[in-house]
Amino acid sequence: MADMTSVSGVDVDGLRALRRDLHAHPELAFDEHRTAGVIADRLRGLGVEVTTGIGGTGVVGVIDGTSPGPTVGLRADMDALPITEELERPHASQTPGVMHACGHDGHCAMLLGAAEILGADRDFAGRVVLVFQPAEEGAAGAPAMLADGLLERFGIQEIYGLHNIPGIAEGDFAVRPGTQLASFDDLDIVLSAAGGHAMAPHLTGDVIVAGSALVTALQTIVARRLDPTVPAVVSITQFTAGSTNNVIPPRAHLRGTARCLSAQARDEIERLVGEICASVATSHGVEVELTYERRYPCTVNEPAAAARVARVAAGIVGPQRVDANCAGILAAEDFAFFLQEIPGAYAFIGNGPITDERGPVHNPAYDFNDDIIEPGARFLAAIARQALTDLS
């Protein structure tokens, strides 16, 4: 970025410093007390009306236009991940075992930049609600904010979010109408049998053999049982059993995840996981206890809102740098819960190429690209203004 303190109404240097401060002081889900305080103070300094404690540690800012009108929400997530930062950067995490490995520090900076733009020029009809959400990373902060009456208290009619994506060119935008991100469910499977000496396997069901068969059988769901045009994955990521080499253990514990880009496929996956577990239990003489927990639904963009995102982004970076019908990906987002309640859209902004110095998300080498704060802030401010105009 150029050494300018302000670009397009955004204090670029100040936001870069703030983003790096948040990066250096990461906080996990529902523990974002310092982060929330920094954000609230920054908003108040911009003359924004602030409410704290929504959904636990959530922060909500309100910017009213010069005349009454509809209300549009903009959302950024605040929480970090339980990952140890790998590279020694000046702004590296100062909290052992915790880092901003997904760019939520940058998302907050972009939304604060949008607050600068909108707060400085309120020549619009309606209200913009800035939603700084806790606990996106698997802890469902969005439902917590909804349960606290976020939509009703602030009258939000549409909502928009923006997430950085490493591997997309720096500052490019991508969005799609319909399902953008996957559903996310947890599998927890316990296999049990009598257990016994390894010399006499015929006297007990073997939970290790059964578990191995179960892992293999579960892979046939995506490969052979689902519509191959629907992206989906069933992954067993943990298999724990046994403590020595001459005992068939009485218990094995498997954990994993199921993700897909279709509500119908999600139902089918859950049904098939149950059938396969029962079949393995019968064929191997073991007991199987399955806990299938539905976590996040698919993130489904309202088509008109997705088209609006593409038009607004094209006005900022040019149409050649906007993919208006990008492929859906199997990551999951609890922004999906907002979109189950009201229209809106979730978009991507490119974080630039993946390198040794700037890795993929959820990776110890990840870092947010500060050069996309300014275009991200401009986009968020512009999509709010355009949505207010279209809703009026």
CATH of the domain at 84: 3.40.630.10
From start to end of the chain, where are the E strands? 49-54, 58-64, 67-77, 125-133, 158-165, 173-174, 178-181, 183-192, 196-197, 232-241, 247-248, 251-260, 287-296, 299-301, 322-323, 344-350
What are the φ/ψ torsions at residue 253 (nearest 5 degrees)?
-125, 120
Q: Is residue 270 located within the same domain as residue 325?
A: no
Q: Is residue 129 part of a domain?
A: yes
| Pair of tokens at residue 253 | 């514990």
Q: Is residue 158 located within the same domain as residue 192?
A: no
Q: Is residue 317 located within the same domain as residue 282?
A: no
Q: Which of 11, 105, 116, 136 is catalytic?
A: 136
Look up the domain containing 97 and give its range. Answer: 12-181+299-391
Single residue among 296, 324, 354 that ends a domain in this structure: 296
Q: Is residue 268 located within the same domain as residue 304?
A: no
Q: Is residue 176 located within the same domain as residue 34?
A: yes
Single residue among 268, 296, 324 that ends a domain in this structure: 296
Q: Which of 27, 31, 79, 268 is catalytic?
A: 79
CATH of the domain at 219: 3.30.70.360
Task: Give CA angle at 37 (139, 382), nearest 5°.
Answer: 80
Q: Is 100 annotated as a binding residue?
A: no
Q: Is 197 annotated as a binding residue?
A: no
- What burial class does residue 286 get, using C-beta atoms within 10 Å of its C-beta: 0-12 exposed, 13-18 middle, 19+ buried? buried
Q: Is residue 7 part of a domain?
A: no
| β 251-260/183-192 pair status | antiparallel
The confidence score (pLDDT) of residue 7 equals 58
How many domains is the chain built from?
2
Single residue among 249, 274, 296 that ends a domain in this structure: 296
Q: Is residue 28 located within the same domain as residue 171?
A: yes
The confidence score (pLDDT) of residue 2 equals 34
Closest CA to 10 of 123, 122, 113: 113
Is 79 a residue of the active site?
yes
Q: Is residue 47 located within the same domain as residue 142?
A: yes
Q: Is 104 annotated as a binding residue?
A: yes
Q: Is residue 6 part of a domain?
A: no
Q: Is residue 176 located within the same domain as residue 188?
A: no
Q: Is residue 223 located within the same domain as residue 104?
A: no
Closest CA to 153 of 1, 51, 269: 51
Judge whether 85 and 92 are in contact, CB under 8 Å: yes
Q: Is residue 107 located within the same domain as residue 45?
A: yes
pLDDT in tens, the chain (392 residues): 333 344 567 899 999 999 999 999 999 999 999 999 999 999 999 999 999 999 999 999 999 999 999 999 999 999 999 999 999 999 999 999 999 999 999 999 999 999 999 999 999 999 999 999 999 998 899 999 999 999 999 999 999 999 999 999 999 999 999 999 999 999 999 999 999 999 999 999 999 999 999 999 999 999 999 999 999 999 999 999 999 999 999 999 999 999 999 999 999 999 999 999 999 999 999 999 999 999 999 999 999 999 999 999 999 999 999 999 999 999 999 999 999 999 999 999 999 999 999 999 999 999 999 999 999 999 999 999 999 999 99
- What burial class does residue 264 get, using C-beta atoms within 10 Å of its C-beta: 0-12 exposed, 13-18 middle, 19+ buried? exposed
The amino acid that residue 287 corresponds to is: E
Q: Is 293 annotated as a binding residue?
A: no
Q: Is 108 annotated as a binding residue?
A: no
Q: Is residue 173 located within the same domain as residue 205?
A: no
Judge whether 38 and 112 are in contact, CB under 8 Å: no
Q: Is residue 310 part of a domain?
A: yes
Q: Is residue 279 located within the same domain as residue 330?
A: no
Closest CA to 63 of 392, 387, 384: 384
